[in-house]
Amino acid sequence: MNKINFSLYLILLVACVISMPTRAESLQSLDEIEQAAYVYALSNAVAKYDNPQISMGDLDSRLRLQQCSGELNAFSKVSHSGLGNQTVGVKCYGPVAWTVYVPVKVKVLKPVVVASKRLIARQIVTKSDIRIEQKDISSLHRGYVNNTELVIGQQLKYSIAMGTVIDPQSLLAKKLVHRGEQIMLIAKAGTMEVRMTGTALADAKRGQRVQVKNMSSKRIVEGIVDAPGIVRVTM
């Protein structure tokens, strides 16, 4: 190769190298993918909860994806409460289409009622038995109670360890009507409603059927407990 041809070859080679994108420039930033997933998860959580906390799982650092020429599109195929562990998809449409799934956890701290000491089954809860603590409600699948007044005076179904969240299912349903108690009997026929006094013939909880003796007619009717001291009858 003569000197002129070699010089021309060298110039062309340098020009090609300069014009080629570097490896770093051609790869999609994993941080940008995680950011897209974070923004998506946060926007969904903020629409339902106050002050949600978003933690991201790390993508595999060995992941190599071509740089997306357009906007990264985040999505989720699952419809749920938006709390706890979930997966957010991030999609690129070109020049090379790809989809990555990012693990995300959404936490929301709320004040809930917990046991301040060990409580035993069938125990009637008192004020000193419980306290309020901040808990992540994403892990409270059985629900929770956020007001101590809703628990005080209730009876426990089973024993509860100190610090355990008291959920609605751990409480025995409270009897709203008691045998021999004078109650309000509400009879409804279409749009007409009649209120009468009666005497409950048994104890009953909300939603249970109970027999009531009408104080005026002395007839015995059956109705459904609706509220403390109130039984409804459909005519």
Averaged over 174-181, what is the pLDDT? 89
Averaged over 11-27, what is the pLDDT? 47
pTM: 0.60
Q: List the structure tokens of 234.
A: 């459909």
Which residue shows structure tokens 């003796």?
A: 213
Task: Kindly give the residue spans of alpha helices, DSSP state H, lying in the chain.
Answer: 3-19, 23-26, 30-46
C-alpha span between 62 and 162 (Å, rounded):
45
| Percent of the chain whose pLDDT exceeds 90 | 63
Q: Please tell me the number of Cα atoms within 13 Å of 25 on its side-chain side.
A: 5
Indicate if the pLDDT at residue 2 is higher than 70. no
Q: Is the peptide bond before 228 cis (omega within 30 degrees of 0)?
A: no
User: For residues 178 and 230, is the Cβ–Cβ distance under 8 A?
Assistant: no
User: For residues 135 and 145, is the Cβ–Cβ distance under 8 A?
Assistant: no
**Better pLDDT: 16 or 62:** 62
- 92-132 pLDDT, tens per residue? 998 999 999 999 999 999 999 999 999 999 999 999 999 99
What structural domains and CATH numbers belong to the chain?
A: 19-107 (no CATH), 109-170 (3.90.1210.10), 175-234 (2.30.30.760)
User: For residues 156 and 119, is the Cβ–Cβ distance under 8 A?
Assistant: yes
Give the distance, in angstroms, between the CA of residue 229 and the centroid of all CA atoms in the same chain.
34
Q: What is the pLDDT of residue 80?
A: 62
C-alpha span between 140 and 84 (Å, rounded):
10
Averaged over 200-229, what is the pLDDT? 89
Task: Count the residues in the chain.
Answer: 235
- Residues whose CB falls within 8 Å of the CB of residue 197, separated by 6 or more in sequence, listed in order: 182, 183, 184, 185, 215, 216
191: left (phi over 0), alpha (psi -120 to 50) or beta: alpha
Indicate if the pLDDT at residue 22 is higher than 90. no
Q: What is the pLDDT of residue 15?
A: 39
